[in-house]
Amino acid sequence: MAMAMAIRVSLLFFLLLSSSLLVFSLYEDQAGLTDWHQQYLGKVKQAVFHTPKAGRKRLVVSTEESAIASLDLRRGEIFWRHVLGDNDRIDHIDIALGKYVITLSSKGSIIRAWNLPDGQMVWESSLVGKNPSESSLLTVIDLKVERDNVILVYSSGCLHAISSVDGAVLWNMELESVELKRLIKPVDGEVVYAVGFSGSSKLHSYGINIKTGELLKQDVVDFPGGFSGEISLVSREILVALDARRTLLVIISLIDGKISFEKTDIHDLVPQFSGRADMLPVNLEGMFALKCSSYMVFLRVNGQSKLEIVDKIEASAAVSDALAFEEDQLAFGIVKQGGNNIHLTVKLGHDYSSDILKESIQIDPTRGLVQKVFINTYIRTDRSYGFRALVVMEDHSLSLLQQGNIVWSREDGLASIVDVTTSELPLEKKGVSVAKVEEGLLEWLKGHMLKLKGTLMLASPEDMVAIQELRLKSSEKSKLTRDHNGFRKLLIVLTKAGKVYALHTGDGRVVWSTFMPNLRKSEACEYPVALNLYQWQVPHHHALDENPAVLVVGRCGNGIDAPGIFSIVDTYSGKELNSLSLTHSVVDVIPLPFTDSTEKRLHLVVDENRNLHLYPKTSEAAAIFEHEFSNVYWYSVDAENNMLRGHTLKRNCMSEVADEFCFSSRDLWSIVFPSESEKIIATVAKKSSEVVHTQAKVMSDRSVLYKYIAKNILFVATVAPKGAGEIGSVTPDESWLVVYLIDTVTGRILHRVTHQGSQGPVRAVFSENWVVYHYFNLRANRYEMSVIEIYDQSRADNKNIWKLILGKHNLSSPVSSYSRPEVMTKSQTYFFTHSVKSISVTLTAKGITSKQLLIGTIGDQVLALDKRFLDPRRSPAPTATELEDGIIPLTDTLPINLQAYATHALKVEGLRGIVSVPSKLESTTLMFAYGADLFFTHLAPSKTYDSLTDEFSYALLLLTIFALVAGIFVTWIMSERKELRDKWR
C-alpha cells in the first residue's frame, strides 16, 4: 500500500516535469533548421553592364527562364530578380536614363521599366498591333530633350515610340506586311531609319522623324533571289544580308533612305565553303561574321562596298558585340577554347590585327563550350583601359573573367531542372581514426586550435571563415555518409542542358556534377534533348561492393522519332559508367519491378512503332523477363487524336536482324473520346513506388471499407473543345469537365463524373485509392478541388467471422483487373481560393503516416494541406463518433492556414515540380521543390511521433529520472516509518 502510494506520487511528479518537456519539443519553431533555399537565373540571353564611376557596379541580365535580374558585378550575387513566367517571355532588355531597366516581353506586346537600384516596377505599357508577329525590336535613343529618352519598339506590325519617363506612347506607325529587322539610330538630326522585309524578296527602308513619327522617306527594292531574313548592320549606311539559299552575300547600301545592293558569291571569298552559311547575330562596327560549316569567317566592307576576309577561326568560338570606349573607339571580344583553358582576345574594331587584351583562363571542362560572351571596360590603377568578360557556358553556368582569373561563377543551369531522383549515401565506415578523418594529426590539432581561438574571441576574420568551414565540414547534416533516420541523401537532378548534378539534402551543396558527353551538341547530334532520370542500380545485398547508379535518358532531336540516348552514371562519384546511342526512338520508358543478380533494374523502352526494347541487354535479364512476359501491360495516350490504348506484348520483333531484346506489341483495347464533345487535357497515374500500409478503412459506424488499390488505374480529364482555351474564354453553358477512372489493363471505366460549367487546366494527384484534382468552376467563378475515393465491394463479405477462421477470406488474394470487382466511389467538392501549378502528395516509408497534399500555388509557394480536409465523409454536423474518428465539419471552402506553407515566407520562383521522398523515419518525409529556385525541407504530417526533436533536453530528462528515483526512495522510507509508528500505536 505504501509502495503503491509512493509510485503514484512519483508518477505525478514525472508528469508535471515531462509536460514541460512535451510543450517545448512540440511547439518549438523548427523553421530554417532543416530547410535550404537557393536562387538561380537560367541561361542568360542578354546582358547589360552598368558601371558608373560612383555607386554599385551592376550586371543586368535576362534569361531563357523568363527572369530579369540585377547582379553584383564583384561577387555575382543577386541584388533583385523577377521571374515573369512562361507566358511572358522576355525578348529584349536595355537601360534608359541610367536608372531604368527596360524589358520587352510577350512577343513585343508588353514593355516595362524597372527601377535599377531596387527592381521596383516604375511603369508598364501594352503595345497593340494588327499583325501578330514573333519578331520584336527595342532601341533606346537619347534625344536629350527634356531629359527624356525615346524607346522605339517594333512589334505586331507596328512601330511605337515610347517615353522612358512614364511609358506613354508618343506615336505609332503601322507597317502593313513589313517585318522590320533593323533600326538605325541617328548620329545627328532627328531621323531614324528602319529596314525590313515584306515577303521574301522585297526590302523596305523608312526614314521617320523621331519626335513626331512623320514618315519622311520611303524606298522599296525587289531582290530576285530573295532574302533569308537576317540582316547585319555594318555601319549607318551599309547592311549585309544572305540570299534565300544562303550562298550569296548581299551588300545593301542605304544612303539618304535610298536602297541599292550588290551580291557576292561566298564561294568566291571562301573557296573551302560548301553548304549553307548563317549570319551570326553580333554587331561589329565595319565588320560582320558568318558561320560556314565548321568555321567562322570575319569579313570587312570597305568604302567601295567590297568585301575582304579579315580572319577565319573555328566555329566553336564566341564573339561579343562591339563596345565603345575611349574617344569613340570600338572593341569586341573573341573567346576560343583549347583543352581546359579558354582564350580571351579583345580586338579593335578598326584594326583587327592588333590585340588590346589576350588572356588564357583555366576553366572546369565539365562546363562545356562557351556559348555567349559580353565584354565591359574599366579603368585600371595606371589609368589604362582593362576589359572584363561575362561568359555563358554550354551547361548554362555564368562566369565573370577579369585579369586572367575567374572572379565568380554561378551554376544557373539548376534553374532548368527537368527531372529528379534520389540516391542513398554510402555507409559510414567503422574503425577510421580521428587523425585520418581530419586528414592528418596536424590538421586535427589546427582545427581544435582555431575553435579554441573562436571561443576566447581571439580569432581574426580569416580564422572565423576557417572555423565556419570546419563547422560545415563536421556538421552532422552535411556528412557524406548515410544516417540512421535517412535524412541525408543525394538529390540527383537532370537539367535542360544535359548536365547531371548531385545535391546534398543537408545543405544543398553540389557534391558532383557531370556534363553528359552524348547530351552535348556535336556533329553526330546537333539537337540533343534531356528527358528523364531512372533508378538503374540500387544495391542492397551488394551495398559494400557496388555503387548505386542512375539511368539518364535523352533524345537526339526534337521529334519523338529521333533516336534515343542512354547514359549510366555512378551516383557516388558522378562518373559515367556506360553510354549508348540507340538505333531506335524513345517514346516512353517503363521501369519493371524486377532486378538481376547485381540488382540492376529491368527497363522497357517503347519506340514510335510501339515496339519494346529490354535493357539491360543481358542473357540474365532476358531470362528473368521471359518468366513475366505474359504479365506486362501498358497504355498510351494520344491526346491529338483523343484516344487511349492498352497494349500487351506479342512476340519478338520482325526485323532483318534478329534481336532477342526487342518485342512487338498488340492492342488490347482502345477508348476514343468523341471529338465534338470532349478533348483530353490531363492524365495522371499512381506512383509505382508508393507503399500502402493497409487496404482496410474503418468507418465511423465501425463498418469496414476495402480500398481498391490496383496500381493500374489512370485518371483522365476531358473538357469540351470550346473550353480548351484560357479561363473565361467560354460561357458556363459551353464548357464542361468530364473525369474518368480507367483500368489500363482491361480498358474498363471504373468511374465517370461530369462537372457542368467547369473548365481546365486540371492539376491532379493519384495516391492509394483516391484522386484529388483542381479545376475552375465558371458558374461560381472560383477554383474548385474535388476528391474521389474508390473502394472494392467484392471484399465486403470479409466481415463473416467464420470465413476468417476457416481461411476462406480473400484479403490476401491478389487484386486482378480481370476479376471485374464491384467498386464503389465516394466523392466531394470544395472551393479553393488559389490557382494551382502542380499537386503532389507526401510519401513515407511504410505508408502509416497521414497524407498531406503538396500544392504549388500560383504565388510560387508550396502549401501542405492535410488530406483530412478532402475527406468525402465530411458533413455539416458530424456525429460524436465521426468527430472521434477525426472527421472535420464540412465547409464549402478549403481553409488555408498561413502556418501550413511548407516554404514559409519564401518563394520558389518559376515553380515547376514538387517531389516527396520517404525517409527511414516513418513520421518524416523529405520535400524538394524546384523551378528557377530550389527549396528543400522535412515534413512531418502527423508530427514527429516516433522521434525526439533536436531541441529535446536530455539533461532535463536525466534530471527527471534522478528526481523520480530519489522521490521513490524518499517516499518509500517515509511510508515505512509511518507504517512502523502506526504499528506501535
In the chain, how many domains are there? 4
pLDDT of 493 over the 90 cut:
yes
Could you report the per-residue pLDDT of 651-661, keeping only the tens digit for each?
888 776 777 88
Look up residue 506 and give its amino acid.
G
**383 backbone φψ class: left, alpha, beta (φ>0; ψ -120 to 50):** left
- Classify residue 459: in a domain, yes or no: yes
Who has greater pLDDT, 340 or 134?
Answer: 340
Average pLDDT over residues 796-808: 53
The parent domain of residue 581 ranges over 489-586
Please tell me the number of Cα atoms within 13 Å of 145 on its side-chain side: 8
**Res 247: pLDDT:** 85
130, 160 Cβ separation under 8 angstroms: no
Residues 6+ apart with CB under 8 A from 656: none
Could you report the per-residue pLDDT of 263-307, keeping only the tens digit for each?
888 888 887 777 788 888 888 888 888 888 778 888 888 766 678
Whether residue 452 sits in one domain with residue 510? no
Could you report the per-residue pLDDT of 514-548, keeping only the tens digit for each?
999 999 888 788 889 999 999 999 887 665 578 89
pLDDT of 21 over the 50 cut:
no
pLDDT of 594 over the 50 cut:
yes
**Res 530: pLDDT:** 93
Given 672, 703, 731, the domain boundary residue is: 672
Q: Count the residues in the chain.
A: 985
Look up residue 833 and give its amino acid.
T
Whether residue 545 sits in one domain with residue 459? no
Instruction: Give me the CATH number covering residue 502.
Output: 2.40.10.480
| Among 576, 424, 425, CA closest to 500 | 576
DSSP-derived pairing of the beta strands 215-222 and 549-556: unpaired
Average pLDDT over residues 35-58: 91
Give CA–CA dist 629/845, Å, rounded.
30
- Assign 3-state DSSP to the chain and report helix, strand, coil percentages, each to 5: 15, 45, 40
Of 458-462, 467-471, 894-898, where does the model show the most confidence?
Answer: 894-898
Based on the number of CB atoms within 10 Å of its own CB, is 833 exposed (0-12), middle (13-18) or buried (19 or more)?
A: exposed
- Classify residue 521: in a domain, yes or no: yes
Specify the 3-state DSSP secondary structure of 448.
Answer: helix
**463 backbone φψ class: left, alpha, beta (φ>0; ψ -120 to 50):** alpha
Whether residue 554 sits in one domain with residue 494? yes
**Res 433: pLDDT:** 41
- Classify residue 633: in a domain, yes or no: yes
**Res 55: pLDDT:** 81
Average pLDDT over residues 869-879: 87
Whether residue 562 sits in one domain with residue 531? yes
Whether residue 636 sits in one domain with residue 568? no
CA–CA distance from 250 to each of 179, 223, 238, 279 (Å)?
18, 10, 10, 12
Look up residue 236 and give its amino acid.
R
| Among 273-282, 466-475, 800-809, 861-870, the least confident range | 800-809
What proportion of the chain, given as a percentage, has pLDDT over 70? Answer: 87
Whether residue 649 sits in one domain with residue 620? yes
**Res 467: pLDDT:** 67
- Classify residue 607: in a domain, yes or no: yes
- Classify residue 446: in a domain, yes or no: yes
Given 559, 586, 613, the domain boundary residue is: 586
Give CA–CA dist 462/476, Å, rounded.
24
**Res 813: pLDDT:** 58
Average pLDDT over residues 144-155: 78
pLDDT band at 11 (very low <50, low <70, confident <90, very high): very low
Whether residue 594 sits in one domain with residue 604? yes
Whether residue 577 sits in one domain with residue 641? no
In whole angstroms, what separates CA 236 from the centre of its chain? 43
Mean pLDDT of the chain: 84
Answering whether pTM is above 0.85, one says yes
Residue 113 C-alpha cell reads as 521599366
**Res 440: pLDDT:** 54
Whether residue 504 sits in one domain with residue 582? yes
pLDDT band at 147 (very low <50, low <70, confident <90, very high): low
Residue 457 C-alpha cell reads as 574571441
Whether residue 633 sits in one domain with residue 600? yes
pLDDT of 803 over the 50 cut:
yes
Given 586, 621, 645, the domain boundary residue is: 586
**Res 20: pLDDT:** 35
Give CA–CA dist 858/561, Å, rounded.
35
- Classify residue 2: in a domain, yes or no: no
| Among 174, 29, 20, 11, CA closest to 950 | 29
Who has greater pLDDT, 456 or 940?
Answer: 940
Whether residue 462 sits in one domain with residue 505? no
Average pLDDT over residues 603-630: 90
**Res 148: pLDDT:** 76
Average pLDDT over residues 341-360: 86
- Classify residue 463: in a domain, yes or no: yes
Who has greater pLDDT, 102 or 285?
Answer: 102
pLDDT of 761 over the 80 cut:
yes
| Among 449-458, 577-586, 598-607, 771-780, the least confident range | 449-458
Residue 873 C-alpha cell reads as 465523409
603, 551 Cβ separation under 8 angstroms: yes
pLDDT of 432 over the 50 cut:
no
**Res 707: pLDDT:** 87
**Res 853: pLDDT:** 94
pLDDT of 423 over the 90 cut:
yes
Whether residue 617 sits in one domain with residue 542? no
pLDDT band at 882 (very low <50, low <70, confident <90, very high): confident
DSSP state of 427: P
- Classify residue 36: in a domain, yes or no: no
